[in-house]
Chains A and B, each alone.
Chain A
Amino acid sequence: MIFPVDDLLADRPKPTPLYAAAASVSEANIWTSINGFAAARVFDNVETEYRAAKDGAVIADFGPLSRYAVRGESAAALLTRVATAPAFTLSPGESARGLMLDDAGGVLDLAEISRLTDDLFLMTTPSPQPRALQLAARGLNVQVENISRAVAAIGVLGAGANEALAAAGLKIPGDHVAASAVLRGVETAARPVQFGALPGAELIFPADDALTVWERLMRRASVRPIGLDAMEVLRIESGAPRPGSDFVTRPPRSGARRMLPVEIGLPHLAPLDSGWFNGRRSLRYQSAAPEHFLVALAIDGDRVLPGAAVYCGGKPAGRITSCAWSPAVRRAIGFASITAASIGKRGEIAVSDHLGDLRGARLLDTAESRLAAAFSEAQS
């Protein structure tokens, strides 16, 4: 699950249930606010944390994300309405990711849905979405409970995530199948997640037992904590756009619209030929032609800033929306929103760096862009 953009103007962010544990191991002590909760940007060193995720396993506090327990006869119907993930087709234990769309097919948010039992689902979203769920539940036999503050959550991510979990006493049976276990007396649910291209799992347990589970993982599983800055590098490398910075999630101003799934590079998360979801008919019948596309770029330079100008064939084409330095690509990488007219035009891509100099850039091949390309090919 991707974190939404930092709320930089937040005053006194609240602690998550894992704040004390995270603060005790934070050397850098650099914090930000996500959804009004304190989140560590860096624990030690961005590259060290990044390498740990690539080579072993890391843990992250997923407390600032929003979670909803959805139960009842119409639980799948509700989730089908609010997210493009195929809730009806999930078997108990399975998870799927999707998008939350408005009636016009514009992207409101990302969403991950796990079916825990026949009529009980867990929905996780980057930003709080209680109003959307409340509206969608009208007329359906379903109960929605916001459990965001009742539970704590830890993401265990990295190439060695499964081994780390096994060492802590929790075995995940498959890439899409959830599991549960008792860790040091704490009932813990685990559902597989993919942070970017990294495998991993999200552990969810009662907020009161947060420190117990954190300690268990730190001691038994030989993991180290990862902050948002390192996760940001992993995110851009994987091609996953970030709500709030790469695409706008708040209600559009009059006359404007939210970005469409194809515009943010995630058309494969809103297929028109499977189950119904909110906004699908608009996407099918009335959707406006794409105006901008979000693309991942590898830039020939060390540093660019969000907002930097992007040029195609020497002409202005868009702006950088988020960026970071990638140890794997050994250059700056980032997302850029560029006009649809620029896509497919010949000519070099260039990005203005932090000094105002133009740097060459190329499209970055990511896990998401490969999925989108395969989806488009299958559709055509």
Chain B
Amino acid sequence: MSEEAGAGGRSRIEGGVDAIVVGGGPDGLVAAAYLARSGRRTVIFESTGELGLPVRKREMGARRFAGASDGEHLIHALDPHVIDDLDLYRHGVSYASRRLETTYIFKTGERLTLRGDLREPMHDLEDTADALGRFATGMFAAAAQLRPLTSGAAGGAQEIANALSGDVSEFPGGAGAALIQSAEDVFDRYFAEGPLRDALTAEAAFRSALPPHEQSSFSQLLARWAGEVSGLQGAVGYPEGGAVAIVEALRRSAQRTGVDIRASTEVTEILIEKDAAAGVVLSDGGQVRAPIVVSALDAHTTYMSLIGPEALDVAFQRDIAMRRAPIATVQLHVVLADAPDDEDARGELSRRLVYAPPPDDVRRAFSATRRGEIPNDLIIEAIAVDAFEEEWPEGKMQLSVLAHPLPLDADANEQRREETRAAIVASLEKMLPGAGERIEDDALVTPHDLAGRGGGALHAFSAREGLLRQLSLAAVTRSACNIGGLYFCGPEAQLGYGLNGAAGRAAARAALKKAKRSGAAP
């Protein structure tokens, strides 16, 4: 390392670094680990004191509820290459359940439980079992076509076209056709009205910016089913210790590979020299120079703040400023009194619980959210985090609840937070009657909270548009405005939602490929 020590950071220039990763979120950790694995001296800068944001451990009250995490609570699309390459199983990743069943609870109080693999025969569905089998087989085949895209392996126009053009016998037109259709149009082919269709409608709308009747709204579900948990396509898994355990494993893997992690160190500028990234400037004025810079921050922060519009191509700037729907998912941690203590209840709570409002109510919820209002009926996904522990706790239990759709709320205030909390509790009450009265403690986690903790710009937490639009934004942001040596793996580079890691892997691989071509040895 060459370092010119000065009186302050302003005069300090640090060299001898091969790669810099800006942002210590999950994708930043993945990118850093890949770069360090190749023998490159890699430094990761995180402005806060925590790694893995926006995912972080949530502790409530005096009792420790294992596995509660802010940001995400389930895993459905963690890139299998990341798991293998970074040896995450050895670094602590294991699943308490790798194929959760889902119980859908409807407004009428009816319940419907679907298996973790929708393709498995469900004889109790009687007349709709065949339709579900055909639907799931076709859709899983179409979703499998998307894997090169969701894994970040395909970025070029031709690769994207290839991924979308293959035919699927069970679904004419394959993934390409399914991507542009509305969820309602797809369901019309297979299902009559009824609980099964209502459940799938809620699934398609959950965490999406598009209501189920709008074009491309089916693509979100397809992207989710392109993912896998431990080799099980379309499954939803619960990691032991919760989603935060994945982040911990990523951190351990990065440290094991020799990544130099510098928390509480803010990057204020990405240096561009001769059309290529040359390093970063830190908040104390010091410089760290490296030929590879990977940004895991959101696109606005990376390009508009750390580089600045005056160094960006005009159309690139227009494209990264694409308007995104002001719709978000909000999390509520709830501690309930009087936890059931029988085995049956525990079995029931070991599932993913989804409150599926009637499709008309889902439509109305999206309309209200788009007007900036808080809807009456929300789609709820709840996990009883204690149900996956060895010991079933006595007395109390904690639910991690994700509610959708809610306004992104650029101007959130206490009253608005209280209204949001009340709406979530009201929908929770419809799902679990009496739950509202049993709440002993709760904590709301809004996009504002996640952004405020250094998780990124607020709009980075807005719900995802259709997959084609996500593809377009990902391609633009990954192009890094043709700045040599700069790679991007922020939230806009990821397709779909949830902990994934593919964007970090893709960015690191692109950097290594380029370095190899130019003969830059580690």
Contacts and interface: CB of A to CB of B under 8 A. Distances in A.
A136 interface: yes
B484 A81 contact: no
Contacts of B313: 103, 278-279, 281-282
Contact of A82 (B314, B482, B483): B314
Contact of A284 (B275, B308, B310): B275
Nearest to B303: A139
Given A80-B310, A81-B310, A140-B310, A281 B482 contact: yes
Contacts of B308: 139
Interface of B is mostly: helix
B123 interface: no
A276 B313 CA distance: 10
A161 interface: no
A285 B482 contact: yes
B406 to A, nearest CB: 29
B276 to A, nearest CB: 9
Given A80-B310, A284-B275, A138 B483 contact: no
Interface string A46-88: 0000000000000000000000000000100110111000000
B393 interface: no
B1 interface: no
Interface string B311-355: 111111110010000000000000000000000000000000000
Nearest to B308: A139
A281 B274 CA distance: 9
B316 A103 contact: yes
A254 to B, nearest CB: 11
Contact of B310 (A74, A102, A286): A74
Interface string A97-136: 0000011000000000000000000000000000010011
A280 interface: yes
Contacts of A102: 315
B180 interface: no
The contact size tier of chain B is: 10 to 19
B311 A136 contact: no
B275 A103 contact: no
Interface of A is mostly: helix
A81 B314 contact: yes
A132 B308 CA distance: 18
B333 to A, nearest CB: 38
A50 B337 CA distance: 96
Interface residues of A, number: 23
Nearest to A276: B311
B458 interface: no
B488 to A, nearest CB: 15
Nearest to B157: A255
A81 B484 CA distance: 18
B96 interface: no
A136 B309 CA distance: 8
Nearest to A139: B309
A79 to B, nearest CB: 10
Given A103-B313, A138-B309, A139-B317, A281 B275 contact: yes
A285 B309 contact: no
Interface string B464-486: 00000000000000000111100
A78 B311 CA distance: 10
B368 interface: no
Contacts of B316: 103
B445 interface: no
B177 interface: no
Given A102-B315, A281-B482, A286-B482, A138 B321 contact: yes
Contact of B318 (A135, A140, A281, A282): A135
B309 A135 contact: no
Contacts of A77: 310
B435 interface: no
A278 B314 contact: yes
A77 B311 CA distance: 9
B482 A282 contact: yes
A117 to B, nearest CB: 20
A178 B181 CA distance: 60
Nearest to B321: A138
A78 B321 CA distance: 18
A123 to B, nearest CB: 14
B125 to A, nearest CB: 46
The 10 closest A-B pairs by CB, nearest first: A139-B309, A281-B482, A77-B310, A103-B313, A103-B315, A136-B314, A281-B275, A135-B314, A278-B313, A278-B314
Given A281-B275, A281-B481, 16 more contacts: A74-B310, A77-B310, A78-B310, A80-B310, A81-B309, A81-B312, A102-B315, A103-B313, A136-B317, A138-B321, A139-B309, A276-B310, A280-B275, A282-B482, A284-B482, A285-B484
Interface of A: 74, 77-78, 80-82, 102-103, 132, 135-136, 138-140, 276, 278-282, 284-286
30 contacts: A74-B310, A78-B310, A80-B310, A81-B309, A81-B312, A81-B314, A82-B314, A102-B315, A103-B313, A103-B316, A132-B314, A136-B314, A136-B317, A138-B318, A138-B321, A140-B309, A140-B310, A276-B275, A276-B311, A278-B313, A278-B314, A279-B313, A281-B313, A281-B482, A281-B483, A281-B484, A282-B313, A284-B275, A284-B482, A285-B482
